[in-house]
């Protein structure tokens, strides 16, 4: 992809992740309104279902990608000196990576505990 089209890729990624986040958020909201788990064991029993685990893992990835594209675009637009921009991009990248690994660990450990 050419350098001119790189903005199109970020735009498309932002839109695709937004659609998935909206749809899965509505599914989560519907589930928790209609059949909220009574305790942690009930929640874990729901999370270990294969379609829920896969959906949650995809949700985490989509959320992190969506957040990264948004943060990256804001920093590129508003932080013009290169050194602070790279430092902030690195900081946010590590923060998102750590948050994603922590969230994925919670889902994987919930599956292993059953």
Number of domains in the chain: 1
pLDDT tens figures, 3-52? 565 788 999 999 999 999 999 999 999 999 998 888 988 888 898 899 99
- In angstroms, rounded to a whole number, what is the distance separating the alpha carbons of residues 78 and 65? 20
Under DSSP, is residue 50 helix (H, G, I), strand (E, B) or coil?
helix
pLDDT tens figures, 47-70? 889 999 999 999 999 999 999 999
What mean pLDDT is reported for the chain? Answer: 91
pLDDT tens figures, 67-93? 999 999 999 999 999 999 999 999 999
- In angstroms, rounded to a whole number, what is the distance separating the alpha carbons of residues 95 and 86? 14
- For residue 34, what is the domain's CATH number? 1.20.1300.10
Domain boundaries, position 19: 3-113
């Amino acid at each position: 992809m050419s350098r001119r089209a790189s903005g199109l890729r970020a735009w498309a990624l932002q839109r695709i992740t937004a659609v998935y986040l909206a749809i899965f958020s509505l599914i989560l909201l519907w589930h928790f309104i209609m059949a909220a788990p009574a305790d942690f064991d009930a929640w874990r029993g729901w999370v270990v279902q294969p379609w829920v685990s896969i959906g949650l893992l995809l949700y985490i990835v989509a959320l992190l990608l969506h957040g990264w594209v948004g943060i990256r675009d804001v920093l590129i637009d508003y932080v013009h000196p290169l050194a602070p921009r790279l430092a902030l991009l690195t900081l946010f990248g590590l923060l998102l990576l750590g948050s994603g690994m922590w969230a994925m660990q919670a889902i994987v450990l919930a599956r292993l505990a059953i």
